[in-house]
């Protein structure tokens, strides 16, 4: 039953209301009586102390009584004469709270219910009334109130007082008591007025100087509590609702744009984007430039260049590749299975497409997972802010449903665009050909270095080279010349190779013409082998000067066969001892300096291209090209997917939120006033508490004025 309906029910209907009710409650029923002849007085009717009930009910009643008889109240202890005074706990509780007895008055009730034959009980109560037993400072009074039959007949207050006076005058032992001034309600009221006056005077002497401070303190507390409540809604509901919607949208837009005080949403999204980046990077092809038979050699192989362009463990990646190792043997079989109508020595394009699609298999899952994280973060943020509308329960529920609908709409659109992007990625394509070629060349050199046993020394050499010439940059000449490069005479029968430092790269037997005339090459005889030098554009012959090549690892070449063809060199590796690293660096510098003097722009990374032709040259090129294309596609993905989520979902929700809510609420329509007023309804308890505090504040303001009037 609602509170409004309950208050309008007749007494008989209230008695017949079915349901579970508490026997006692801390709630207070307040009845305010106002009139010109009424005294400004508060009277609190407390429940009687009970004994035969559940322990928690007994304790509840006692706590209610004790909490209300503290302080400066006058305590009227009603003592029914139908029970012995020793059995009535109310008097003991009053004495505990008012040990001096200055505020306690005993009131003996129901004298008419003592039987005429109960002479002993009557005599005992007369002794209490006259102060011989259980005395109180202000004594006891005895009253006789109308019984149920008299109240049912509608007895008036005047008739009740007349019946009471007649009873005490005609009924013994009351008619013969020595203190007739303590009989009757009129005498009790007069005594109460006198005691109340004395109590106020006593308190005034002690406390009136502090009343002004106390009133000011209570006024401030009341004002603070009232300010904690939102102000009552006044004016047109449409204007008020428009203000709420605008405030919500401003806050959302602020967090979507980001700022010093509004960075939480973007920071959470950046965490999701970073995880997405790591997930995509972990799908990099795990190519190993080794045969399965030499798989043990690849244990220290790192599937990253660590050059700042290809992210590795230095950039915080926990996993460089989740895929199984893919060796040269696997690549050869894959190419052979893909051959259809291609010309000899041509790698089918479809074989590369299959490899590219293989590392893209999990991209859809990673993109969807990232999108779900962004959606959940956005949803949590929006719902947390909607909690600020708890004052308007109906509006809060409406906003929750509306925001979910708008978010779902833009999220679906964003997922569709992401799916389109993923489908486009399945068809290899790029116009960023320079970047693709650069990546391919880097990976081809890296694979060849690893194949030749240089992976363990290249990074160390580069670090030392940079320390010698910190002004150098990758991909540009790194030498300055102050004199001619070291040179030595070249002779096909020379044994000068025995006096050279270990060579960083080994070369197989070159063409016969080069072997017979070493002066035609850029390098002299190295460990009994020669290598053809890169041809300088426009040059017809090489300079007679030659550079001395340093050795980072020596290689011996042995003939192998591939598909019945001619013998092709296959390198075996001997690692360079650490003590020779400094010599490796200086010799490498000398070699590159000599090439630069001859007019060749060569970097350290280019030296790997001078390695002899490998029997797995074709497979290495496919590995390098696919790995290079992964770098191109990977860079696109980690930028495009977060951009789509940010633009089509996050920013789109913030951009369209205000228009969407205004349309849903129907602000401005002809019938919007009542509907908006319903959304803006507050919790009745909040309304009641605010009204109570406002009324109390007004009363305290009146007290302040009266105290100032009396110059207190």
Task: Using the predicted structure, report yes or no on whether residue 51 has a pLDDT greater than 50.
Answer: yes
pLDDT value at residue 428? 95
Q: What count of other Cβ atoms lies within 10 Å of the Cβ of residue 10? A: 8
At residue 82 the predicted structure's pLDDT band, cuts being 50, 70 and 90, is: confident
* Partners of 627 in the β-ladder: none
Domains assigned to the chain: 3-221 (3.40.50.300), 237-280+329-454+616-681 (1.20.120.1240)
DSSP H helices, 141-184, are: 148-152, 157-170
pLDDT value at residue 248? 93
pLDDT value at residue 579? 56
At residue 565 the predicted structure's pLDDT band, cuts being 50, 70 and 90, is: very low
pTM above 0.95, yes or no: no
At residue 89 the predicted structure's pLDDT band, cuts being 50, 70 and 90, is: confident
Top-ranked range on mean pLDDT: pick from 137-146, 487-496, 504-513, 670-679: 137-146
Task: Using the predicted structure, report yes or no on whether residue 520 has a pLDDT greater than 60.
Answer: no
Distance, C-alpha 409 to centroid of its chain = 23
**Tokens 């302040």 belong to residue:** 704
Helix or strand (DSSP H, E) at 701? helix 684-709
Show the tokens assigned to 492.
């096909």
Please give the share of the chain, as a percent, with pLDDT higher than 90: 33
Task: Using the predicted structure, report yes or no on whether residue 460 has a pLDDT greater than 50.
Answer: no
pLDDT value at residue 709? 72
Please give the share of the chain, as a percent, with pLDDT higher than 70: 75
* Partners of 104 in the β-ladder: 75
At residue 516 the predicted structure's pLDDT band, cuts being 50, 70 and 90, is: very low
Mean pLDDT score, 10-34: 73
Q: What is the DSSP letter of 486?
A: P
CA-nearest of 475, 469, 437 to 601 is: 475
Task: Using the predicted structure, report yes or no on whether residue 496 has a pLDDT greater than 50.
Answer: no
Rounded-to-integer distance, Cα 320 and Cα 300, Å: 13
* Partners of 142 in the β-ladder: 108, 183
pLDDT value at residue 652? 97
Show the tokens assigned to 326.
């893919």
Where is average pLDDT lowest: 148-162, 239-253, 464-478? Answer: 464-478
pLDDT value at residue 687? 79
pLDDT value at residue 318? 63
| Residues written for the chain | 712
Show the tokens assigned to 51.
């004994």
Task: Using the predicted structure, report yes or no on whether residue 24 has a pLDDT greater than 70.
Answer: yes
Mean pLDDT score, 430-451: 93
Within 13 A of 665's CA, how many CA atoms are on the CB side? Answer: 32
Dihedral sign for Cα 410, 411, 412, 416, please: positive
DSSP three-state, residue 464: helix
Rounded-to-integer distance, Cα 421 and Cα 425, Å: 6
Rounded-to-integer distance, Cα 707 and Cα 712, Å: 5
pLDDT value at residue 523? 32
Whether residue 447 contacts residue 291, with contact meaning beta carbons closer than 8 Å, is answered with: no
At residue 64 the predicted structure's pLDDT band, cuts being 50, 70 and 90, is: confident
**Tokens 């929750």 belong to residue:** 400
* Partners of 611 in the β-ladder: none
First and final C-alpha spacing in the chain: 49
Show the tokens assigned to 216.
């000011």
pLDDT value at residue 461? 44
Question: What b/e string do you get for 199-236 counting C-beta neighbours within 10 Å, with b at 16 or more?
Answer: eeeeeeeeeeeebbeebeebbeebeeebeebeeeeeee
Mean pLDDT score, 653-676: 89
Where is average pLDDT lowest: 106-120, 465-479, 685-699? Answer: 465-479
Mean pLDDT score, 88-112: 88
Of 588 and 207, more confident = 588
User: Do strands 104-109 and 140-142 pair parallel, antiparallel, or not at all (unpaired)?
Assistant: parallel
């Amino acid at each position: 039953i609602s509170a409004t309906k309950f208050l309008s029910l007749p007494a008989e209907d209230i008695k017949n209301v079915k349901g579970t009710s508490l026997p006692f409650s801390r709630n207070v029923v307040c009845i305010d009586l106002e009139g010109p002849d009424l005294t400004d007085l508060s009277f609190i009717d407390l429940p009687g102390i009970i004994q035969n009930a559940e322990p928690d009910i007994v304790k509840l009643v006692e706590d209610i009584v004790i909490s209300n008889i503290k302080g400066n109240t006058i305590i009227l202890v009603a003592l029914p004469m139908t029970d012995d005074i020793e059995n009535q706990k109310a008097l003991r509780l009053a004495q505990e709270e008012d040990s001096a007895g200055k505020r306690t008055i005993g009131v003996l009730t129901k004298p008419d219910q003592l039987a005429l034959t109960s002479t002993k009980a009557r005599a005992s109560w007369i002794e209490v009334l006259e102060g011989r037993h259980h005395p109180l400072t202000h004594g006891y009074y005895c009253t006789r109130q109308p019984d149920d039959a008299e109240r049912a007949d509608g007895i008036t207050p005047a008739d009740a007082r007349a019946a009471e006076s007649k009873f005490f005058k005609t009924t013994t032992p009351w008619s013969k008591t020595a203190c007739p001034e303590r009989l009757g309600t009129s005498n009790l009221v007069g005594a109460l007025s006198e005691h109340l006056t004395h109590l106020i005077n006593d308190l005034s002497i002690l406390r009136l100087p502090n009343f002004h401070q106390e009133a000011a303190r209570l006024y401030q507390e009341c004002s603070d509590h009232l300010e904690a409540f939102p102000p009552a809604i006044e004016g047109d509901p449409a204007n008020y609702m428009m203000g709420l919607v605008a405030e919500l949208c401003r806050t959302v837009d602020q967090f979507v744009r980001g700022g010093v005080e509004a960075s939480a949403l973007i920071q959470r999204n950046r965490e999701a984007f970073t995880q997405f980046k790591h997930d995509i990077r972990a799908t990099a092809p795990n190519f190993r430039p080794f045969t399965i038979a030499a798989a043990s050699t690849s244990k220290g192989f790192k599937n990253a260049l660590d050059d700042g362009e290809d992210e590795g463990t230095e950039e915080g990646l926990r996993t460089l590749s989740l895929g199984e190792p893919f060796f040269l043997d696997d690549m050869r079989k894959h190419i052979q299975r893909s051959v259809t109508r291609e010309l000899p020595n041509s790698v089918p394009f479809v074989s590369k497409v299959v490899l590219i699609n293989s590392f893209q298999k999990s991209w859809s899952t990673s993109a969807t997972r990232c999108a779900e994280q962004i959606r959940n973060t956005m949803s949590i943020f929006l719902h947390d802010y909607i909690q600020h509308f708890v004052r308007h329960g109906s509006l809060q529920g409406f906003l929750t449903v509306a925001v979910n609908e708008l978010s779902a709409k833009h999220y679906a659109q964003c997922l569709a665009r992401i799916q389109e992007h993923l489908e486009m990625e399945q068809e290899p394509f790029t116009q960023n050909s320079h970047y693709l070629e650069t990546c391919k060349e880097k990976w081809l050199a890296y694979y060849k270095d690893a194949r030749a046993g240089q992976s363990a020394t290249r990074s160390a050499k580069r670090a030392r080279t940079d320390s010698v010439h910190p002004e150098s940059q990758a991909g540009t000449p790194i030498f300055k010349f102050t004199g001619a490069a070291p040179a030595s005479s070249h002779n096909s029968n020379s044994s000068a190779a025995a006096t050279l430092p270990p060579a960083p790269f080994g070369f197989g037997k070159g063409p016969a013409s080069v072997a017979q005339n070493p002066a035609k090459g850029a390098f002299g005889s190295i460990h009994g082998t020669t290598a053809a030098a890169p041809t300088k554009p426009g040059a017809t012959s090489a300079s007679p000067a030659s550079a001395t090549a340093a050795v980072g690892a020596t290689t011996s070449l042995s003939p192998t066969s591939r598909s019945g063809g001619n013998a092709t060199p296959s390198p075996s590796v001997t690692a360079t001892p650490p003590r020779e690293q400094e010599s490796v660096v200086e010799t490498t510098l000398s070699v590159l300096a000599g090439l630069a003097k001859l007019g060749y722009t060569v970097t350290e990374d280019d030296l790997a291209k001078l390695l002899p032709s490998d029997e797995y040259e074709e497979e290495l090129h496919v590995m390098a090209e696919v790995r290079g294309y992964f770098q191109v596609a990977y860079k696109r993905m980690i930028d495009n997917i977060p951009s789509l989520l940010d633009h089509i979902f996050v920013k789109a929700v913030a951009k369209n939120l205000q228009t969407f809510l205004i349309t849903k609420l129907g602000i401005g329509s002809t019938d919007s006033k009542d509907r908006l007023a319903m959304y803006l309804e507050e919790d009745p308890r909040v309304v009641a508490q605010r009204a109570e505090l406002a009324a109390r504040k007004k009363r305290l303001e009146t007290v302040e004025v009266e105290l100032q009037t009396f110059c207190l």
